[in-house]
Chains A and B, each alone.
Chain A
């Protein structure tokens, strides 16, 4: 009796689940990721319907997925989005560049020397907790151009995670590696290039990943002010002209680029990661 039920092809939940578990890992992952995006789109779509059906909010109906993707397509077709993206990415890259140039050496010092760590710890933790946007008034006073002010804010956002990530990496270095490297003939420069940097690379990139996250979040509100280019400016501009479909399209672009930046950082972490023995 039970044999019969077992051999009969079923469409039960249990059967589906067992089938799912037999899929390869990447397929499970892809399916679940698609499902997640599907849920997001669905919620968005429902939200759009609710907004459209309410007389008070009807004016904002263009926030719905349909108009948004039309607007996005228009932005891509006319090419106007590329310059906007370019301006924002340029600021992020310059901010990140200075964050790395300042943050990695500082992190190495903090991680390597106990005294530097003891001196720097309190002030750095204190400064780290200040929202980068809080520096805005000071940045505007200190820098001649809005662009420079924004880049300053981005440096303030990126430098801390990079400093702390690097310092963490340096502290994890096994002192025996120095001894071995010295014994095998490495001098100071070779020690840095062939031992210290590869040893800390994964932690530095982990710091950079956090830095990119913070910087990307800070960038948009920073671009609300003063400048006349970039994604933040484009959002503000769309709001002023009541272009709600364009506004939503730019939000989509911000999310997408943020995701790609993060994925790049994750790939770098993977590339440079090593496992403890």
Chain B
């Protein structure tokens, strides 16, 4: 995997060395020749075609790509919530069949159980895994403590803010001690300030436990800020377009979002995900559609 020329000059020897060491780690998640089609009105629509990708142990991988390219489908396939048409998904070298506790998942919609307290939500998977109620409660409370929600252990989801709910969803998945944490646009519904806080939270957690994170987002800045490598997909059918190693040191500096390598990476990803010509045509199309909408207003002319 060659580093694109625009990013080469930012890839210092230290960063280069770190990236190479990552690729020498054992494989956590190994996707081989993955195919997936959906049937729509009797016609097969190929959503993912021949996806090959490996995430290494304790790596932070982000997945970006145009809307509808199959990012969520990929995560759901890995989680075993969807059946595979062709290819294989391996965890620690063993092929996966159906859902398993080694792959935890966090959804954008939090999906906490509204009839359970925060504590009961976190205990859900532990109890399912065969742990005694008492032990599950002790562990759940430790997790709740870790993300600073100890005052809310007995609260119900509707009493929490969006960021708090997402923290609960994350620890609910982490409590089962998965090897890979799959996250499908988990912070998309949060406001920018909370999102940054949650990103920092997540990095903190990731650094301190043995976990590989597979994080889907459509926010390129988020992808660069969080990940070691970025898997870029293209649409129709969803294929691997490129895998980009992020040329930024860890831990991230406070001003990293304004640094030159960050902006260069963003520009490069931008060119991969939204090719320029296409965007202009799209915009022109949309504008002509808007012009066709009749204005029926008390103030017809705003100029």
Contact = CB atoms under 8 A, between A and B. Distances in A.
Interface stretch (A88-96, A180-188, A236-244): A180-188
B172 interface: yes
Contact of A185 (B81, B113, B129): B129
B107 interface: yes
A195 B128 CA distance: 12
A277 B165 contact: yes
The CB with the most chain A CB atoms within 10 A, among B99, B104, B115, B116, is that of B115
Contact of B107 (A176, A190, A275, A276): A176
Contacts of B125: 184-185
Contacts of A58: none
A201 B129 CA distance: 25
A234 B111 CA distance: 54
A270 interface: no
Contacts of A177: 111, 113
A179 B107 contact: yes
Given A277-B114, A277-B157, A277-B165, A183 B81 contact: yes
B66 interface: no
Contacts of A179: 76, 79, 81, 105, 107, 111
Contacts of B172: 180, 184
B99 A275 contact: no
A179 B108 CA distance: 13
Contacts of A176: 107, 109, 111
A213 interface: no
Q: Is the interface of A mostly helix, strand, loop or mixed?
A: helix
Contacts of B79: 179, 183
Interface in B47-90: 76, 79, 81
Contacts of B107: 176, 179-180
B83 to A, nearest CB: 13
Contacts of A181: 124
A195 B113 contact: yes
Contact of A183 (B104, B112, B156): B104
A274 interface: yes
A275 B157 CA distance: 9
A3 interface: no
A184 B124 contact: yes
Contact of B101 (A185, A199, A276, A277): A185
A272 B116 CA distance: 11
Nearest to A181: B124
A166 B28 CA distance: 43
Contact of B173 (A183, A199, A274, A277): A183
A17 to B, nearest CB: 34
B158 interface: yes
B110 interface: yes
Given A174-B111, A176-B111, A186 B105 contact: no
Interface string B172-196: 1100100000000000000000000
A184 B111 contact: no
Nearest to B126: A184
Contact of B128 (A184, A199, A272, A276): A184
Given A177-B111, A177-B113, A277-B157, A182 B81 contact: yes
A24 B215 CA distance: 51
B115 A274 contact: yes
Nearest to B130: A185
Nearest to B108: A176
Interface string B192-223: 00000000000000000000000000000000
A183 B172 CA distance: 11
A65 B172 CA distance: 61
A208 B112 CA distance: 27
Given A179-B105, A275-B158, A277-B110, A186 B115 contact: no
B119 interface: no
Contacts of B110: 277
Contacts of B173: 183-184
B167 interface: no
Interface in B125-182: 125, 128-129, 156-158, 165, 172-173, 176
A47 interface: no
A184 B113 contact: no
A221 interface: no
Given A182-B99, A184-B128, A190-B128, A275 B114 contact: yes
B41 to A, nearest CB: 16
A160 to B, nearest CB: 26
The 7 residue pairs across chains A and B that have the minimum distance between CB atoms: A184-B125, A274-B115, A176-B111, A185-B128, A274-B114, A275-B158, A183-B105
27 contacts: A174-B109, A176-B107, A176-B111, A177-B111, A179-B81, A180-B105, A180-B107, A180-B113, A180-B172, A183-B99, A183-B103, A183-B173, A184-B101, A184-B104, A184-B124, A184-B128, A184-B172, A185-B129, A194-B124, A198-B113, A199-B115, A201-B115, A272-B115, A274-B158, A275-B114, A276-B114, A277-B114
